[in-house]
Structures are given as C-alpha cells and as structure tokens.
Amino acid sequence: MDAKISSNSSMDSNKYNLYNYYYYSLKKISLFLFPIAGILIFITYLSSTSPKSLLTPQLFQCPSFSHHNETAKLWAPKDELSDALRKASMPNKTVIIAVVNKAYVEGKNMLDLFLEGFWAGEGTRELVSHLMIVAVDQTAYERCLFRGLHCYRLITDGVDFMGEKVFMSDDFIKMMWSRTLLLRDILKKGYNFIFTDTDVIWLRNPFKVLTTNKTRDFDIQFSTDAFNGNSSSLHNSINTGFYFVRSNNKTISLFDKWYGLKDNSTGLKEQDVLQNMIWKGVLGDLGIKARYLDTRFFSGFCQVSRDIRSVVTVHANCCRFIKAKVADLKRVLRDWAIFKVTPANDTKIFRWSPHMDCIKSWQINVGNNNKT
C-alpha cells in the first residue's frame, strides 16, 4: 500500500516538472518572437501607407541613372519668383515692382521714405499688399523681410550691387540691365506690372489713371521727364523709373529685342536704348499701343507739376545721389502734409518747395562724393 502511494507521488512529481519545463520554454520563445512580430507589423503598416513598398527589391537597390527623373523631381528648385509674384498679385495678375540694394535700405533710407509715401497718400495704403520688393543683395533682402513686405532675392553672378550706384556709372548701367531682364521674365510669367523706382512718392492711386475705360487698351504707359503735350507723341522723353506694362506677346517681344541690344550699347543706360528703339519705330513694328504720361499727373523734379490737386506721383529724377533724393523727397512729403490740411480755396497758390539738394547734386564731383 505504501509502495503504491510512493509510486503515485513520483508520477505526480514528474508531471509537475514536465509542466514547468514546457511553461518556461514557451515563455522564453514568446519573449523572443513578440518583438519580431511587432517589427513585422510595423513594416507592413509603413508599406501600406507608402507609395513604394518597403519590402520591394527597390528598397535594397543603390541609386542608379534609372531613377534620375524621380530624383530630379524630388529635388527640383523652387520657383521663388513665381511664388513671390503670386503672393503680391492682384486678382487680375498685376503687381507693383521696385528694386533696392543695401544703399537704399540703410540709415535714413530711401525704402522707408518710399513706404511712408504709401502711408501718407490718398488711397495708397492698401497697394503695399501688392508691392514686391526685389532685393539685389542680402542686406536689402533681410531689411525687406523685416518690413513684412513681399520680397524676392535677385542673384546675379559676378556682380556686386550692394553700394550706391551713381547715375550713369558702369555699375548703375549693369543694374539697370539686370532689372530689365527680370521684368521681361515677369511678363513671360503672365503678370502685368507697374515698375517704380523707390525715389517715386505715390501720393494717389495711379491705377485710377492708368486703367480707366479710355486707357485700358494701351499695352505700355511711360512716365516722361518732359511731357510735350501729346500723349501719343514719340518725341516725349521716356523715363523707365515709372511705367505700366501689360503682359502680352507684343510687350514680351519688345523686352526681348530691348535686352538683346545690351551688349551692343556700351555706355548707354537701358532707358536710352529703349528711347532710341522707339524713335526708330519699334512700337509700331510690333503693333504696340503706347501712351506717354502727362507730368501734370506724374510729376518729377525734371518737370514739376503745379497742380497738386491732380498729382499722382512725384519722381526725384534729374537728381544724383541718394542723400540728395531723400532730402528733397522729404520736402515733398512735408508739402503734401501741409496741402492736406490747407483749406481748398488756398490751394490755388500752392507751390512745391525748391529741390535744392538735387540741384546741388550736379555740382558735386563724383570721385570725391561721400556716398551716404
């Protein structure tokens, strides 16, 4: 009887030991398999959400020429000009373009004065949202961004545009041609534009004059240094510091021909080249309908408008050096502020302050000038 009980106890002990053996073996196996299962589930999930399965042979292939198109597409450079234009554009694909460099944004600078004009003008504040500043150096670009404007960084290899470019200097001419090339590219992207120098103060909204029922058919409208009384006369002296161009095949062809003469026009600024082209009949040859703007509305220091009730813009043309332009344009804004608070009956005798600094700028020797 005791032997039988002992035998049964031994069998129970063996079963218990066998159970423990299988239990711990399965536990060890599960500890090994669960992480692997987790990794497989994770890879399967990524494969289902990725355009290319992670388990396909391509995963293990080295880059080759067969993948060139896909790589090029992935790393294609962003079209920053199109992006800047889109952000600044009016619904009808029209933008306002101005170009600045370091000399125009430092200290008591031209850019700030230019923007002050939009603030002080009548119906001009909202136009700043359609202004794209083209910066030709990094300092100007950073200042533009700081002002919260629409900014585009124009990079021209091998040319330093940072300092002041005195009227008709070699660097001045190079910068003008660089500007012309950019404006051609803007037309090719389908955008109309007003180009404006930053030494143009906007006192009223020019679109109310440039885009009326009577003027909307013009392909291009030029400001003038001296208006001869006939808005269709080819003998008006154009000024490319302010003009309005509509994008179409005719104006694109004009800019192509214009820029194409750059290398054969040594010593001439781009405005002189275009003026000569106009005198030779290029506008008629291309079927371009042009208008030359009356200085009564689009005034300048070359030919001053006496009708302040009609003036739209004031351009510090016929002037050298930024310092002189800033000084005299400040006088323009002070005169404008006085006009706005002057009773209507008294404005008949209004006179602009003399542009003394700009007059004196022609007496300064460029070589000795302190360009500040």
* pLDDT tens digits for range 124-158: 999 999 999 999 899 999 999 999 999 999 987 65
Q: What are phi and psi of 194, to 5 degrees?
A: -100, 120
**Per-residue pLDDT for 58 more than 60?**
no
Residue found under tokens 């408008």: 305
CATH of span 80-366: 3.90.550.10
Residue 260 tokens, joined:
């194409």
Residue 178: the pLDDT is 86
What whole-number distance in Å separates Cα of residue 349 and Cα of residue 346? 6
Within its chain, how far is the Cα of 8 from the centroid? 96
Classified as helix, coil or strand, 181 is helix
Neighbours of 23 (CB within 10 A): 10
Average pLDDT, the chain: 81
Distance, in Å, from the CA atom of 295 to the CA atom of 313, rounded to the nearest integer, reads: 9
In the prediction, which pLDDT does 9 show?
46
Are the C-beta atoms of 107 and 372 separated by less than 8 Å? Answer: yes
Contact (CB, 8 A) for 154 and 309 = no
**CA–CA separation, 129 vs 37, rounded Å?**
57
- % the chain with pLDDT above 70: 72
Taking 70 as the threshold, does the pLDDT of residue 161 lie above it?
no
Q: Which of 95-99, 143-147, 163-167, 366-370 has the lowest mean pLDDT?
A: 163-167
Six-digit token pair at 372? 């500040």
Tokens representing 64 are 């080759």
| 251-274 residue pLDDT tens | 999 999 999 998 887 778 889 999
Q: Which own/partner pairs from 338-341 qualify as long-range (CB within 8 Å, at least 24 positions apart)?
A: 339/308
Helices (H) and strands (E) in the chain, counts: 12, 10
**Greater pLDDT, 275 or 2:** 275
Lowest mean pLDDT among 55-59, 209-213, 265-269: 55-59
Report angle CA 320, 99, 318 to the nearest 5 degrees.
Answer: 20
| CA dihedral for 133, 137, 140, 141, sign (positive or negative) | positive
Measured distance CA(162)–CA(137) in Å, rounded: 6
Question: 223-257, pLDDT tens digit by residue?
Answer: 999 999 999 999 999 999 999 999 999 999 999 99
Percent of the chain with pLDDT over 90: 60
For CA atoms 341, 345, 346, 350, the dihedral sign is positive
Nearest to 228, CA basis, from 293, 275, 311, 319: 293
* 342: amino acid identity, one letter: T
SS3 state of residue 200: strand
* Spatial strand order in the sheet of 237-245: 150-153, 131-135, 94-100, 192-196, 237-245, 220-226, 290-292
Q: What pLDDT is attached to residue 177?
A: 82
Determine if residue 73 is left, alpha or beta; phi over 0 gives left, psi from -120 to 50 gives alpha, anything else beta. Answer: alpha
Radius of gyration of the chain (CA): 35
**pLDDT class of 6 with cuts at 50, 70, 90:** very low
Quick one: how far is CA 90 from the chain centroid? 14
The reported pTM is 0.76
The pLDDT, as a whole number, for residue 264 is 84
Q: Decide if 241 contacts 317 (C-beta within 8 A).
A: yes
Q: What's the pLDDT score for residue 173? A: 74
For CA atoms 283, 228, 194, 211, the dihedral sign is: negative
Q: Give how far Cα 131 sits from Cα of 86, 125, 335, Å.
A: 11, 11, 25
CA 34 – CA 293 distance, rounded (Å): 81
314-326 tens-digit pLDDT: 999 999 899 999 9
Report the pLDDT averaged over residues 329-356.
Answer: 88
Query: If you average pLDDT over each of 11-15, 26-30, 149-153, 212-216, which comes out highest?
Result: 149-153
Residue identified by tokens 């009949």 is: 281
